[in-house]
Amino acid sequence: MSAPAAAAIIDVHGLTKRFGDRVVVDHFDMRVTRGRIYGFLGPNGSGKTTTIRMLCGLLTPDEGEGTCLGYDIRKEAALIKREVGYMTQRFGLYEDLSIEENLDFIARVYAVEGRAAKVKATLERLGLHSRRRQLAGMLSGGWKQRLALAACLIHDPQLLLLDEPTAGVDPAARRDFWDEIHDLAAAGLTVLVSTHYMDEAERCHELAYISYGKLLTQGTVAEVIAGAGLVTWAISDGDLVALGHALRAAPGIRTVAPFGTTLHVSADDEAGLTAALAPFRSAGLTIKPIEPSLEDVFIALMQGASDNFTPPAQ
């Protein structure tokens, strides 16, 4: 490892993966430094899982190179696997093994030293020691997620790759989960986590947003919001459904999204919003300028991206 790269846990350039003719990940660059929680966002099928799999050696990139934990992602996958904890999107442990047997298996595969003590400590930390003989398949979604995370951590990895870890988990369990992630990061673990939830995105130190395999933006939450350059107004009262439909067709409007009883309308500048709303001023609308939320930014990004991907003229 050279000196400047020392802090980079993940450092990849031009990562590209094709499945047949479809480009799933398109020249993707990413740099994640130690102890950071890096959020990975994007719509379904945008290439998040594929990117994570390339990082831990489960898929071979068609193009691009880089390092993960200082190891070459193409040639040193075996070394990467030893120091990475990867939590798959689907529950990846054995439902027909007990909680304890699952942890024991993972600890053995990673050749963890002091295995029995480690498994016992993990069970106690999870509060599952009394239920250790229960089959993993009998656990609820939230408990399965906690068990899967514990299994990822049993070999003291340097990097955690979490692929939509909180899908189908209730809010309280999600909050606990994120508290634990922050504790781990504070202790020096680097975390790459993909998610669909905006509240989770806001809990990350840094974000990357990808769509159709392309990186659209990255940075801290504030940087991402500022970088989008959106002006957003919250509109309430009046016939918001009809207004929404009318505004979506209006020129200069980037996004229109209903949030409860208000409608968030965003444009590149205030003039655009004023012009677009001019015909509806008489309708008794209450208009309030607001700071655009992460969600407004992502909706705008996604719409911009899909514009780029309209089929080329024949």
Partner 1 sequence: MSWSRFLAVLIKEFRQVRRDRLTFAMMVGVPIMQLILFGFAINSDPKHLPLALVDADRSEFSRSFIAGLENSAYFEITERPAGEKEGDAMLAEGIVQFVLVIPPDFSRKLIRGERPAMLLAADATDPAATGNAIAAINAIGQRSIGRELAGPLASLRPAEQPFEIRIQRRYNPEGLTRYNVVPGLIGVILTMTMVMMTALAMTRERERGTMENLLATPAKPVEVMFGKIVPYILIGYVQVLVILVVARLLFDVPMVGSLALLSVVLVVFIAANLAVGFTFSTIARNQLQAMQLTFFFFLPSMLLTGFMFPFRGMPGWAQAIGEALPLTHFLRVVRGILLKGNGIAEVAPHLWPIALFMAVAGAVALLRYRQTLD
Contacts to partner 1 by CB under 8 A: 53, 56-60, 77-78, 81-82, 84, 86, 88, 90-95, 106, 109-111
Q: Which is nearer to partner 1, 93 or 225 (CB)?
A: 93
Concatenating the DSSP letter of every residue in the chain gives --TGGGGEEEEEEEEEEEETTEEEEEEEEEEEETT-EEEEE--TTSSHHHHHHHHTTSS--SEEEEEETTEETTT-HHHHHHHEEEE-SS--S-TTSBHHHHHHHHHHHTT-TTHHHHHHHHHHHHT-GGGTTSBGGGS-HHHHHHHHHHHHHTT--SEEEEESTTTT--HHHHHHHHHHHHHHHHTT-EEEEEES-HHHHTTSSEEEEEETTEEEEEE-HHHHHHHHT-EEEEEESS-HHHHHHHHHHSTTEEEEEEETTEEEEEESSHHHHHHHHGGGGGG--EEEEEPPPHHHHHHHHHHHHHHHTSPPP-
Give least dist CB 76 to partner 1, A.
12
Q: Which is nearer to partner 1, 60 or 286 (CB)?
A: 60
Phi/psi for 118 (5° steps) reads -65, -45
Q: How far is the CB of 137 from partner 1 (least distance, A)?
A: 9
Residue 92 Cβ, how far from partner 1 at the closest point, in Å? 3
Beta carbon of residue 60, minimum distance to partner 1 (angstroms, whole number):
6
Judged by beta carbon, residue 143 or residue 233, the one nearer partner 1 is 143
Residue 29, CA distances (Å) to 10, 151, 218 in order:
10, 29, 10
- β-pairing verdict for 206-211 and 37-41: parallel
Residue type at position 168: G
The minimum distance between CB 270 and partner 1, in angstroms, equals: 48
* CB nearer partner 1, residue 56 or residue 277: 56
What is the Cα 231 distance to its own chain's centre? 25
Q: Considering the complex, state which of residue 95 and residue 237 has its C-beta at the smaller distance from partner 1.
A: 95
**Identity of the residue, 21 or 307, whose beta carbon is nearer to partner 1 in the bound complex:** 21
Q: Which is nearer to partner 1, 57 or 213 (CB)?
A: 57
* Residue number with CB closer to partner 1 (82 or 125): 82
